[in-house]
Every structure is written in C-alpha cells, then in structure tokens.
Structure 1
Amino acid sequence: MDAFKLMKELRVNYEQEVHYLPKETGLSLIESTAQGDTRISAKCRDAKVEDLWSLTNFFGYSTHTFVLAVNLLDRFLAMMKIQPKHLSCVSLSCLHMAAKETEEECNLTPTDELIRIGQCRFTVSDLSRMEKIVAEKLNFKSKAITALTFLHLYHRIALSHCSDRKQTLNMEKLEAQLKACLCRISFSKAKASVLALSLLRLETKATQSEDMLEITHHIQRHLKIADGELLLWSDRVAQCLSDYASPECSKPNHRRLQWIVSRRTAQNLHSHRSVPELPTIPECCWDENESEEDSCVEMMSSGEESLSSSLGSDAEGTYFPQHLRHQEQRRYL
C-alpha cells in the first residue's frame, strides 16, 4: 500500500511539474545574449546561481532552499527583461522567499544581514519591494515541484522496493550533483522529473545494482518518459559532472567557507545602509516589443558586483568556483 501511494504521489507531481518550469523561450533568449550586453546573459545568470549556492552554505540553509531559489530565479528571468546590475536584488529576493518557505522561522537570516553578507547595494525596503514583484509575476507560487522533489520521491520508492538497503540511493551525493547541474542554465530546460531520473540513472550505472536498475526502469515506464529524452539529459548530466571533476577544475582547499575582503569592501559592508532607496520600478515582459532602453526592470542606478568576483573566483575560468567546492561534495563526484 505504501508503494502504491508513492507511485500515485509521483504521478501527481509529474502532472503538475509543468506549472513550475521556466519558459523555454525566455531561457533561450538569455542563452543567446552576448556577454556585455544590456540584458542578462547565461554566464551572468550562472555566476549569480553560484553566489546563491555560496550564501546557502554560509547561512546553513538546506538544499531544498537552494533548489527552490534557483527555480524562482529562472522562472522570473525567463519571464521578465532585467539588466545585469539589477540581478543581485532579484536573486537575493528569490533566496529570501525560498528560505521563508523551507526553513524554520528561527533559522531565517534577518533581511539586513542577508543584504550585508551578500555585499549588495540596496536597502531592506528595496528587497521587500522586489519580493512582491517576483511573487506577483509568479502568480504567488512560491512553492514549486523541483528536481529535488523527484529525487526524494525516487529515494522513498527505492527504499520500498530495494531488497538490499545498502544499495539504496545516497541522497547527499545526488543532492551535490544536482546543485552542480543547476549552476548551468541549460539544465533549467529539463523537466524536473527527467533531470532527477538522469541523476538516478547515472548513479545506478556507477553502483551496478540490479535492483536499482529495475527500479529506474519501473519509474521511467510509470511516467512514460521516452528513452531518447532520458538518454539526452543523462549524457548532459554526465558531461557536466565530468567537467566538475576534471583536473582543470581547481582542487578544494580543505577549509570551511571564509570571507576574505579588502579594506574597501569592508568599509562598504559597514556603510551599506547609507545606500539610497531604489527608484520606481517599471516592468515589462520578454514578449513585449519595447526599445532597448525601456526593456528592463529599472532599479538600481549603481552597478552590482558579483559575489563570486568579490571572493576571488575566476569569472573567465572553470565553471564551478573554488569557494563552492567543499570536500564533502567533491568526494562524491
């Protein structure tokens, strides 16, 4: 009966996931934007997701919070035109919204502290105003069905079917791999159920578990996922994880996350409350025909630095910055 309920829950989530997918046309426009353009580029988006990963670790938030924040961010970016200098406010708003949905209230980081540690140049009222805009544009759907939702369901299904508990899924490993994939905007085009099943499929191959292989096939048949679609995303996931584990990537230093800032940055951290409030924010969507100057969410007049760049990550180098590669994640990949 438990297995039946799990499969029913899996089917319901599979049918509902389409409502929480970013618009593919908007994602494609972001991917086609050249670096240095006035619009958000894929590289700019990916760097900001790396920042969210770093902040999630810093504040001790769960993987659920990070995955939900990325989902909210991608859904908003695929719908609205914004400039790179506005991205920090949007992304931090998504992280704060996600944390309020997934974390205990006592564990929530105060808004002013979130802005200070994020080294952002806007005020608490600016962040609150942006959260309202994001929530409105997403039809107040702050919760979402994500790849992590399916990973946890697959794990529960595996526990109910697998004869050898030692061969069941290692969720910590799979969550680390999922976070690595989400740092590339291309994986935002995948259905959450297919991305999660791709991770499961690769893990099954690695463990060579016959029980897990049968469970993977059973889930695929139950959801009627085409072989070609699963193979396509499995190959992309494998390539992503291979890139992450390649010798070209900087090896992690075995220390905890540390903030190394210059004297100038430290002064900015202490004086962030003096930043003037943002002006009125006119809004427009990707499908509106507007001029280049008017086709964005107008917010901050000052430019925003990437948290990754302030921490010394190489924006021109490998995909995953050094400050995100913790030892406990690396050993799984």
Structure 2
Amino acid sequence: MIDTVTGAQAFAVKVKDLMDLEGRCQPKLTGLRLIETAQDNGLRMTTRLRELEVKDLLYLCRFFGFSSETFSLAVSLLDRFLSVMKIQPKHLSCVGLCCFYIAVKSSEDEKNVPLANDLIRISQNRFTVSDMIRMEKIIMEKLYWKVKAPTALHFLRLFHSRIQEQLDAESREILSIEMLEAQLKACHCSFIFSKIKPSLLALALLCFEAQEEHDPEHMNQISEALKNLQHLLNVRDGDLVCVRALVGKCLAEYANTKCSRPNSQRLRWTISGRTARQLKHSYYKITHLPTIPESAC
C-alpha cells in the first residue's frame, strides 16, 4: 500500500511538472487563429498548407526510419513557430524541413543524423544549406532556443504506462501503445489539434480507444483509471467529450480510402539513399529563397 501511494504521488508530481511546462510551450492561439481564418490565395499561411507540410514531414520521418518522438517534436516546433511568425507559403517547405532537422538533431542518435545537403536532396526541395542555416537561426531565436517541450506523445506514453500499472494482465492487452501512437500521428496531421493542449489530446485518445472495448469487466478497470487521470488533470467532462469526438472524426477521415490513398508526390521518398545520390543533377536545381521577413504575428 505504501509503495502504491508513493508511486501515485510521484506520478502526480511528474504530471504537474509537465503540465506547467506545457502551458509555457503552447502555440499562441492568436497566431493559430490567423492561420485558421486566412484565405487560400497563395499569399497567406492556411490550415491546408500546414496540414500538407506535416504530412510531408511524416513521410520523410518514415523514409529515414526516425522515431515517433522526432515527428511529434517536429510538429510541435512547426506549430509554435507558425503561431508567432507570419510566413509566406513559399517559405513553408524551408521552415518545415528546418523544424524537422532540429527535431532530428535533438531526438536521434548523432550517427543517424543526415547531412543538411542530403536532407534537402532527398526531400527534393529547392533551397540551399545556407538557406536552412539562416532559417534555423530564425526559428530558434523566435522560440527563445527552447527546443524540448512536452508533446502529446510524452503524455500519451506516461498516461498509458500509469494505466497499465492499475490493470490485470488480461486488461493490459486492450490499450495498445503502438495503435495509440499511430492514431496520434494521424491527429498531428490535422490542424485542429494544434489548438488543444497535448495532455488533453493524449487523454482523449486513450478514452476514444477505450470506448471501443465492450467487455464490462475490462472496461470498469480502464474507466476507473481514466477517471483518475481526468481528475488529476482537472479536465471538465464537456471538454473531454468534445476532444474525443474530434479524435473520432479525424481517425474516421484518416481511415477513409480516398483520404489515405498515396499520391505520386508523397511517394517521392520511397527510394534508397544510394539511389537518391545517383539522381540526375537537374533534380537538384537550386533556386535561392528571397529575404525572409521576421515580422511576428
């Protein structure tokens, strides 16, 4: 009993520390609302462009075999930057690749970090390494050099681990962390979740997955564990129901055949690194980026 109480207290302290940091690392809602209301005329950042960029980063992450941590951190960096800077669509690919590269250098083993030039070539972007260096400096300055931030993946793994500790052996098979992480990646590709706290998104994902289980014996244990988490996070029932519904809608759209069918553009990375290095030089034609304005939102 003492060990259980001690474990619960340690978990509560860890969650509180993460949530305090979460509040300081959230994307600015004012900046996200500007993106949400922008017209898709090629002159302003829009939700559609942001979602396409995140999907490109997901495919790039899969191509290199990078971890879920790298992808979640890259999305966090991208959303935080887009919420404080007005960027033009023509700069988005450079911004996205730089956020991805920062995440790679922060999360992956040093020996697995590709050269910036190789990263540009594999992604077939048309800017130079010097453009990336310049953009990376702007990103880091605007984010006050704070790379690490609690992501929904951090909370999801923490919450899942805590719930598993409270279940019997049979019930532990119900909530698959692999399935939950795959669902989280789908949610990252939807702009709406940029405005939701990572801790709430993680809890909503767990609740959504748990509601698919109809065995009362197992559900009682899981529901109790989720209720305890909700109480610890001080999440209102209405907020949780709303976000859980958004999760369900997102996953339904992601599973749709038309939505998930790959296209030729996103298959551009399904080549080996060796093949990429042997591509014709014309594929690497470089066009320099214009000066990047540093006006904040």
Match of 1:79 among 80, 84, 93: 84
Q: What TM-score do the two structures reach when normalised by structure 1?
A: 0.78
Match of 1:163 among 159, 168, 181: 168
* Equivalence for 1:22: 27
Residues 32 and 273 from structure 1, CA distance in 2 versus in 1: closer, same or farther, beyond 3 angstroms? same
Does structure 2 retain, via aligned residues, the 8 Å contact 1:125–1:277?
A: no
* Equivalence for 1:106: 111
Match of 2:184 among 178, 181, 186: 178
Which segment is superposed worse, 68-77 or 29-38? 29-38
Does structure 2 retain, via aligned residues, the 8 Å contact 1:69–1:95?
A: yes
Distance in 1 between residues matched to 2:255 and 2:80, nearest whole Å: 29
Does structure 1 retain, via aligned residues, the 8 Å contact 2:78–2:96?
A: yes
Does structure 2 retain, via aligned residues, the 8 Å contact 1:30–1:42?
A: yes
Shift of 1:128: 1.2
The amino acid of 2:296's aligned partner reads C
The amino acid of 1:170's aligned partner reads S
The amino acid of 2:281's aligned partner reads H
Which segment is superposed worse, 12-21 or 240-249? 240-249
Superposition RMSD on alpha carbons, in Å?
2.4
Match of 1:152 among 127, 144, 157: 157
* Equivalence for 2:208: 202
- Give the % identical residues: 45
The amino acid of 1:27's aligned partner reads L
Does structure 2 retain, via aligned residues, the 8 Å contact 1:158–1:215?
A: yes
The amino acid of 1:70's aligned partner reads V
* Equivalence for 2:3: none
Match of 1:220 among 222, 230, 238: 230
2:244 counterpart of 1:238: no
Distance in 1 between residues matched to 2:54 and 2:159, nearest whole Å: 25
The aligned runs of 1:125-136 (5 Å cut-off) are: 125-136=130-141
What's the CA shift string for 1:168-190, capped at 9, x where partnerless? 53111111111111111111001
* Equivalence for 1:118: 123
Shift of 1:20: 1.4
What's the CA shift string for 1:17-39, capped at 9, x where partnerless? 11111111111111111112411
Unaligned ranges ≥5, structure 2: 1-5
2:74 counterpart of 1:64: no
Shift of 1:103: 0.6
Q: What TM-score do the two structures reach when normalised by structure 2?
A: 0.87
Distance in 1 between residues matched to 2:230 and 2:206, nearest whole Å: 11
* Equivalence for 2:43: 38
The aligned runs of 1:302-317 (5 Å cut-off) are: none
Aligned residues: 280
The amino acid of 2:236's aligned partner reads A
Distance in 2 between residues matched to 1:44 and 1:280, nearest whole Å: 21
The aligned runs of 1:239-318 (5 Å cut-off) are: 239-250=249-260, 259=269, 270-271=281-282, 275=286, 277-286=288-297
Shift of 1:2: 3.0
Shift of 1:84: 0.5
Does structure 1 retain, via aligned residues, the 8 Å contact 2:126–2:285?
A: no
What's the CA shift string for 1:120-179, capped at 9, x where partnerless? 111111111111110110011111111111001111201221123533531111111111
SS at match of 1:225: coil
Distance in 2 between residues matched to 1:43 and 1:267, nearest whole Å: 33
The amino acid of 1:85's aligned partner reads K
Higher helix share: 2
The amino acid of 2:109's aligned partner reads E
2:17 counterpart of 1:12: yes
Distance in 2 between residues matched to 1:37 and 1:249, nearest whole Å: 23
The amino acid of 2:224's aligned partner reads E
Distance in 2 between residues matched to 1:69 and 1:250, nearest whole Å: 22
Distance in 2 between residues matched to 1:186 and 1:108, nearest whole Å: 31
